Amino acid sequence: MTKKTILIALLALAIAAPVIAAEKPAPAPKKPDFSVPKLKFETVDKFIPWEFSGSTGGMMGGMGGGMMGGMNTKVQGKGPIRPAFVVRIHKPTSRVRHFPWERTMYNPGWGKYVAPHPSEGILQTPTGKTLSTQQQQLIKSQQAFVLRQGGTIHLYGVDRDQTEKTAIAFAEYLADSSEKQYQIIKDFVPETEQKLKGLEKELSGMIDKVKSVAAKRDQIKRETHYLNMADFEDSMRRMTVLMETEAIKHDVLRARENALMQAIENEEGIETMTPPEKYNRQHIFLKLEELRIDLNIDLAESMATLQAANKIRSKARQYIDCVKERDKLEGEIRKAREQITLANRTINRAQSILTNPDALDMLMLSDSQLPIYPVSTGDKK
């Protein structure tokens, strides 16, 4: 092997290397972790009042959490079960645009999982089922969960242990809601990809059809002397008027034909007795036959006029129908293309979430240390 051959082989390998590297399959998306975070609690020596400001877990929180958050009302907890501690959870980031229990108008295309309100959902979690009877009653009374202005969440408990368990149950509730929302998106992608194939097939069929319709329209235009849509519409109007007039004339001719045939039939039935009478009857009969011949010519002329006018009108109608069908198809094509663009955009967005679950935009807790405060219930001592 010469040096030149070796050099050529090395150059070929260098050129092929990027292609080989580019053909490596993309790494599979990392499976999201929806496990419950490890929470720690730090006591803060500061009393927090048991009151609801803005949106609460009861009357206001049940309406979406943020809908009434702008109100400056303060509602005191009523009991009869009263909390002793509260965990405060700050909204992690401004990226969280909605909460699992909200029936938001935000519609990304794949639908939103709407979780039960925390006053119900917390009690359905593994930890929620182990809460004490008193704590469960406090939660059911919708006075244990408060969503305050700015997105800060307060979770109240009858004692420290139950308050911490309630926070853990809330974390389980959020993780479960996020996982269900993630699964909705995961199922959405193949379903939408299948629909997308159908849309693309329909679009291809519509494009072929619009070409066929346009070709038929152009063929009709070549066969006539009309230049545009207005000419064809005018022709159709004129031929319609002509056919209506000629149809009336044709009916009159048919009535004359019936009368003439009746007269001929009557003449044929007369028995003549004398030569003069016979001569006169023959003369009348020949005249009737002459009239019948002329009438048949008029009928044939009328029928030809009707057929010619109908042919011209049919051509005009076909042209007009082709133009209307093409316009309709073009509108459907635009709509189909918009649907395909939207479907592709939504699929890409869904796939980006599947590879990055943080983009779910839903509230999730991470391993962290949460502050726990004693509660001032407003009782007189």
pLDDT digits 0-9 by tens, 333-361: 999 999 999 999 989 988 888 887 667 76
Whether residue 49 is found in the same domain as residue 104: yes
What CATH number is given to the structural domain containing 299?
1.10.287
Position with higher pLDDT, 375 vs 10? 375
Q: What is the DSSP string of 22-90?
A: HTSPPPPPPPP--PPPPEEEEE-S--EE-EEEBS-TTTTGGGTSSTTTT---EEE---SS--SEEEEE-
pLDDT bin (cut points 50, 70, 90) of residue 284 is confident
Provide the pLDDT for residue 5. 55
What is the pLDDT at residue 367?
67
Q: Are both 371 and 340 inside the same structural domain? A: no
Is 194 inside any structural domain? no
pLDDT tier for residue 181 given thresholds of 50, 70 and 90: confident
Count of domains in the chain?
Answer: 2
* Rounded mean pLDDT, 310-317: 90
Q: Confirm whether 3 is domain-assigned.
A: no
State how far the Cα of 18 lies from the Cα of 12, in Å rounded to an integer. Answer: 11
Considering the domain architecture, whether residues 89 and 58 belong to the same structural domain is answered as: yes
Instruction: Report, as an integer, the average pLDDT of 256-272.
Output: 77
The answer on 220 and 87 residing in a single domain is no
Q: Are both 208 and 321 inside the same structural domain?
A: yes
Neighbours of 11 (CB within 10 A): 10
Is the same domain home to 228 and 279? yes
Q: What is the pLDDT of residues 18-29, one digit of tens each?
A: 443 444 444 555
Residue 183 predicted with pLDDT over 80: yes
Task: Report yes or no on 5 lying in a domain.
Answer: no
- Co-location of 81 and 136 in the same domain: yes
pLDDT tens sequence across 223-238: 888 888 888 888 889 9
- So what's the pLDDT on residue 323? 92
The string of pLDDT tens digits covering residues 116-155 is 899 999 999 999 999 999 999 999 988 898 887 777 889 9
In a domain, 329, yes or no: yes
Q: Are residues 329 and 228 in the same domain?
A: yes
- % of the chain at pLDDT higher than 70: 76
Position 178 pLDDT exceeds 90: no
Instruction: Give domain status of residue 16, yes or no.
Output: no
Q: Is residue 195 part of a domain?
A: no
- In this structure, is residue 17 part of a structural domain? no
**Mean pLDDT of all residues belonging to the chain:** 80
Q: Which domain holds residue 271?
A: 200-355
- Asked whether residue 323 falls in the same domain as residue 372, the answer is no
Cα four-point dihedral sign 328, 329, 331, 335: positive
